[in-house]
Structure 1
Amino acid sequence: MTKELLKSTLAELSLAENSTSIIGIKRGIERETLRINNQGRLSSLPHPKKIGSALTHKYITTDFAESLLEFITPATDSAERTLNQLRDIQKYTQARLDNEVLWPMSMPCFIKNQNEIALAQYGSSNVGQMKTLYREGLKNRYGSMMQAIAGVHFNISFPKSFWNRLQVIKGDKTDSQSFISNGYLGLIRNFKRDLWLISYLFGASPALCSSFLEGKESRLPFEKLGKGSLYLPFGTALRLGDLGYTNSAQSALKVTYNSLEEYIIGLKRAISTDSDLYRTIETHSDGSLKQLNSNILQIENEFYSPIRPKRNALAGETPIDALTRDGIEYVEVRALDVNPFSDTGISLQQVYFLDVFLLYCLLNDSPEMDNEEQKISQKNLEQVVNFGRDPSLELIKKGASIPLRKWGEETFEQLALIANWLDTAHGTTHYKTAISELNLCIEDSDKTLSGQYMSALKNSGLDNGCFALELAKQYQVKTQEHQYLELSESDLNNESAHSFVKQKEIENSDEVTFDEFLTAYFK
């Protein structure tokens, strides 16, 4: 039934008056990467001033740690342009690092002790202090090691012309923004149902440095490699599993995506509900705070979801305020490992696949999804994270067991239909090529990123950390050879200089104490 519905919708979208409505998909990428010294150890140097202010720079900031860089591209309607922007930003940054390289993996390098991981600093302003205190809260709740994990976030919005034509095809009579918000929520529900496929295809963290476990025992069936590496024989994306971004307290939140109001209520409840667990985190000896508050979530950003509904916020506006004001503008996919075989951490093939996959999630029927079904999708994800390349693996679909391969084949049949429609609309062939190439991974798990990584790692005869360091040095050379294409060195110099001016303006504009600022913020 679903396939026939999809065919019918695509036939309507392919009519002459609708055929070009999908042109203008906008994407932005946020790529995280650790700064590493030439011996493969975590950098102990602060965020380089030559790069700019981490608080206000448009393109280069930090995530949890001083050493965890985050590169942000502006939204554009060209996948090639977006990746070239990312290369430009990386070239600019790499040229200003002092004997350091960019770590090409999601799971961190060898870190002897999590106290080596210095919290990101953003200056003396109230908003800068809040950002650092939020990170201290994360450290005290989950430990710094988990926060040193890097990922790639993929932001996407579909053009207004597409939403207008789809609304006519669906015969929907609601206002335009409600239709768009509900469409993105349907996409999110289906994305969660099929999230396992992203982990299977693009999970690239089946191995890690044993230092990550900090001497703790793991229930996972790790095997040893070299002097200090661990891996799961059939693993795909340890970053998305129990070792990665998890919060046991969040499992009871029951944040669902059946309506925007329901989602907002769920998140508001999470950031206003006191946690017995986090209430035990005391203040420092001088009375200063160790977290923003003792609620289940300090702020919305602490909610570890693989995909988020988003709207660009105005100055001083929280993410929830922005969604409440004008609905959903785009979605942020947060489930991507750093691709170790791409200098940018994400390949053009992946971008084209995500265009197709997210439209598959959007155009298919998307029934309401309760918390129990979300638990099932999470269980499927955990199975693929730990055992995804096991050819006998079965998942749960609509209450019944189904071989991963069978589910994958069924999904790729529909992805091929969407790829054909997209290529026809754009006058290209790259969508069909991407789907055809990645379809081979369903039959042969060695072709997945995790399969390729384990094969290359074992063939290298190196430990995981040494192998990743070799990749980092290769990409350093490639980055140096890259010529600026979208953002010139002059553009980036100007942005870096201006970022310090903006930081100083923010610091000079503060009129209340930090305690007063926090009190007002949480009102």
Structure 2
Amino acid sequence: MSAALQKQLDQLVRNGQAALLKGILHGIEKEGLRVDAQGHLSQAEHPRALGAALTHSYITTDYSEALLEYITPVFKRSGDALSFLADLHRFGYGPLGDELIWCTSMPCDIPDEESIPIARYGSSNVGQLKHVYRTGLKHRYGKMMQTIAGIHYNFSLPEALWPALQALQQNRDSLQDFRSEQYFRLIRNFRRYGWVLLYLFGASPALCSSFLKGRDHQLETLGEDTLYLPYATSLRMSDLGYSNKAQSSLGICFNHLQTYTASLHRAIHTPYERYDAIGLKVDGEYRQLNTSILQIENEYYSDIRPKRVAHSGEKPLHALHTRGVEYVEIRNTDINPLLPLGIDQQQADFMDAFLVTCLLAGDELIDDDECERISENLKRVVTRGREPGLTLQCNDSERSLAQWGQDILDMVSQTAAVLDKNEHGNTFSDAVAAQRLKLDDPALTPSAQILTLLQQQKISHSEFSLAQSLAHRETLLQTPLSEKRQAYFSELTGSSLNDQARIEAEDSLDFDHYLADYLAQ
């Protein structure tokens, strides 16, 4: 793996093509529950002053009406994406009034699932499709799991890089096919090494006890209202969070675009007995989009996804299959409650160097045995990642997490040095160096710092999260939104409401036929 990385980096530098890496594109999506001043889940509708969740480019909702989602445009500099994300928060706090944006991935205290409102997107067919899909998630997995929030880091390489890489590798495929295969190479290595991100940046070692009310679990208690594991890094990414027994049978390990899309297509068209028992349409109301293993491709939970921007009305899977991979979406990033935005520049810089490393490292496929090792390693890291002496599975042996982590960072350091030359600085190398300290001293990880604060201050997860949410709002509002940006966001609010009204007025099909046509793509 390391030899392949060094060879490709050396070739790019020797040929004067390393500068092609300078045009990396970034986008950030950040979810966050709306809560009232006491930290209770908001029961209010998505504020009209934030625009229409269906059609707004940057402000929408995810599963719940209360699960706000901010989406940045695509930027060449990750710092610009972070700046835009901060401005979205500043703009949003106005219409939110006394409400706060919950600053942790695991939800606030929610007494029962009935208090979780499912998001609504108006009366149009596309709006109904989004609502019925979420209703299906409720019936399949319960509402509580859908209140978990995270950060998605969208990443793509500059178009000018692909012909250069293709020439270096003496590849004769079409450029589209080559690009897709290289993104899947990145994805495979991300799957192999992504556990290190959970160790370094995992920030959900504890949660409100209400999240697991009535469920069996192995967590320990920390006060009356908080559950935790002493060495956990990211309970959000554990079996307590996004797990799905039906999906585990799919065996998707991301070797090729064709097998990936075929597997998802098959899952969308394969009936599943337990979902069939739920019913499709009962008393005139849809309970789910279909009774298959997956309603749509987005239901497949993974820590990384290959993506392609779809045309209006086009299924994402069709777009991906027809026009190839355009970017990857990193989905294993917890919201760090110690940071105002949940992510900062140093983390973004490390992510860039890590992802380029995954692209240029070895291109070995993942077989069934390695797929099982990957799953086992992720399980160990999210629940026991800071445990002294913890080992992970590597081929046919066990390796120290700390040593393997340093070996991975050795590779990332090589990439960081090349990226730094492009920027005439040291920011990428500095970001890697900061992560090395966490491998040497687990107390420096966000997960350890959070547990230390809970224990020292003798407060619950809810009390800690509420205080941090309030502090982050105050910090962000200390820098006022510029008049130009305020006007821009206000204009988008109005245009999104008009766009939703237009879509609703232009619908010509009834929903039954619309849904059938959509699923038939």
Normalised to the residue count of structure 2, the TM-score between the two structures is 0.98
The Cα of 1:274 is off from its aligned counterpart by 0.3
**How do residues 483-494 of structure 1 correspond to structure 2 at under 5 angstroms?**
483-484=480-481, 488-494=485-491
**How do residues 286-305 of structure 1 correspond to structure 2 at under 5 angstroms?**
286-305=283-302
The Cα of 1:306 is off from its aligned counterpart by 0.7
CA distance in 1, matches of 2:255, 2:410: 27
Once the two structures are overlaid, the 10-residue window that deviates more, 460-469 or 62-71, is 460-469
Aligned length: 520
Alignment RMSD, CA only?
1.3
Aligned to 2:387: 390
- Structure 2 residue 252 is matched with structure 1 residue 259: no
Aligned to 1:404: 401
- Structure 2 residue 132 is matched with structure 1 residue 139: no
Aligned to 1:194: 193
CA distance in 2, matches of 1:287, 1:97: 35
Once the two structures are overlaid, the 10-residue window that deviates more, 194-203 or 22-31, is 194-203
Aligned to 1:150: 149
CA shift in 2, pair 1:487/1:189, >3 Å:
farther
Which of these residues, 355, 358, 363, is aligned with residue 361 of structure 1?
358
Which of these residues, 229, 244, 257, is aligned with residue 232 of structure 1?
229
Aligned to 2:451: 454
Once the two structures are overlaid, the 10-residue window that deviates more, 251-260 or 470-479, is 251-260
Q: Is the 8 A contact 1:256 1:262 kept in 2?
A: no
CA distance in 2, matches of 1:484, 1:17: 41
The Cα of 1:200 is off from its aligned counterpart by 0.7
- Structure 2 residue 499 is matched with structure 1 residue 507: no
Unaligned runs of 5+ in 1: none
Q: Is the 8 A contact 1:202 1:449 kept in 2?
A: yes
- Structure 2 residue 512 is matched with structure 1 residue 522: no
CA distance in 2, matches of 1:142, 1:105: 21
Q: Aligned partner of 1:174: which letter? A: D
The Cα of 1:508 is off from its aligned counterpart by 0.7
Which of these residues, 470, 474, 493, is aligned with residue 473 of structure 1?
470
SS at match of 2:508: coil
CA shift in 2, pair 1:166/1:283, >3 Å:
closer
CA distance in 1, matches of 2:358, 2:443: 26
CA distance in 2, matches of 1:278, 1:438: 43
Normalised to the residue count of structure 1, the TM-score between the two structures is 0.97
SS at match of 2:79: helix
The Cα of 1:16 is off from its aligned counterpart by 5.6
**How do residues 151-170 of structure 1 correspond to structure 2 at under 5 angstroms?**
151-170=150-169
Deviation string, structure 1 residues 492-521 (Cα, Å, up to 9, x no partner): 000000001100111011111111111111
- Structure 2 residue 292 is matched with structure 1 residue 310: no
CA distance in 2, matches of 1:395, 1:301: 30
Q: Aligned partner of 1:23: which letter? A: K
CA shift in 2, pair 1:323/1:486, >3 Å:
farther
CA distance in 1, matches of 2:94, 2:166: 48
The Cα of 1:255 is off from its aligned counterpart by 2.2
The Cα of 1:194 is off from its aligned counterpart by 1.2
Aligned to 2:442: 445
Deviation string, structure 1 residues 303-335 (Cα, Å, up to 9, x no partner): 001101111111111111111221111000011
SS at match of 2:215: coil
The Cα of 1:288 is off from its aligned counterpart by 1.5
- Structure 2 residue 316 is matched with structure 1 residue 319: yes
The Cα of 1:447 is off from its aligned counterpart by 1.0
Aligned to 2:64: 65
SS at match of 1:99: coil
Aligned to 2:422: 425
Q: Is the 8 A contact 2:2 2:362 kept in 1?
A: no
The Cα of 1:462 is off from its aligned counterpart by 1.0
Q: Is the 8 A contact 2:233 2:383 kept in 1?
A: yes
Unaligned runs of 5+ in 2: none
Q: Is the 8 A contact 1:88 1:487 kept in 2?
A: no
Deviation string, structure 1 residues 395-454 (Cα, Å, up to 9, x no partner): 101221111111111111111111111101221210000000111111111111111111
SS at match of 2:463: helix
The Cα of 1:68 is off from its aligned counterpart by 0.2
SS at match of 1:488: helix
Once the two structures are overlaid, the 10-residue window that deviates more, 250-259 or 267-276, is 250-259
CA distance in 2, matches of 1:413, 1:487: 44
Which of these residues, 410, 414, 418, is aligned with residue 413 of structure 1?
410
Q: Is the 8 A contact 1:256 1:266 kept in 2?
A: no
- Structure 2 residue 36 is matched with structure 1 residue 37: yes
Q: Is the 8 A contact 1:178 1:327 kept in 2?
A: yes
Once the two structures are overlaid, the 10-residue window that deviates more, 410-419 or 102-111, is 410-419
Q: Percent identity?
A: 41
CA distance in 2, matches of 1:285, 1:297: 19
CA distance in 2, matches of 1:9, 1:519: 47
Which of structure 1's runs of 4+ aligned residues deviate more than 6 A?
none
Aligned to 2:431: 434
CA distance in 1, matches of 2:59, 2:307: 20
- Structure 2 residue 181 is matched with structure 1 residue 182: yes
The Cα of 1:373 is off from its aligned counterpart by 2.0
Once the two structures are overlaid, the 10-residue window that deviates more, 145-154 or 310-319, is 310-319
CA distance in 1, matches of 2:156, 2:516: 35
CA distance in 2, matches of 1:378, 1:267: 19
